[in-house]
Amino acid sequence: MFPWYYVGQFGQLGPLSEDQMLELIESQVITRETFVWKDGMQDWVHAASIPAFARVMAPSGPPPVPSGRGPKVAAIAPTLGDSMVQAAPGPTSRVAGGIMQFFIPGLGRLYMGYLALGLLQLIGAIMTCGFLYPWSFIDGILILLGHVPVDGYGRPLRD
């Protein structure tokens, strides 16, 4: 069997056997939208387009709307558009994160869940005796202006 590769959270990973890929699919590390590739393929494709992988993947989205008898779900379904579905905001505040960036480099990013970036700003400012402090200051301004819409976990920031 040809080794498989996939694009994960940390970039391209592999080579992996088909059995290893199936284990990752079952543990939901590889989802329907994950790009996969193996030797002989022209380009990267979604994992759901590979028949061997699609068989073991969980279906995407909710089950079909029931018809016939039962609750009148079909009557209200068209009124629920994608615009109404929004993620619940996380516990972190955009204003607090932006202001923290001004006082201690990287502290706002650490507060918002961006551990690597926050530590990089903090250590960078310490190691350069404050030379990299403007990076953190400008980042705080960008956070306050709304250029960072989500926290490090993908949840919308509170205002």
Predicted pLDDT of residue 82: 46
Predicted pLDDT of residue 139: 94
d(Cα 51, Cα 57) in Å, to the nearest integer? 10
Predicted pLDDT of residue 104: 94
Predicted pLDDT of residue 13: 86
**Residue the block writes with tokens 């590889």:** 30
Predicted pLDDT of residue 133: 93
Quick check: helix, strand or coil at residue 16? strand
Q: What are the backbone dihedrals phi and psi of residue 127, each rounded to the nearest 5 degrees, phi first?
A: -65, -30
Residues 6+ apart with CB under 8 A from 89: 155, 156, 157, 158
Residues of the chain where predicted confidence (pLDDT) is lower than 50:
70, 72-85
Predicted pLDDT of residue 67: 60
Please tell me the pTM assigned to this model.
0.48
Predicted pLDDT of residue 56: 83
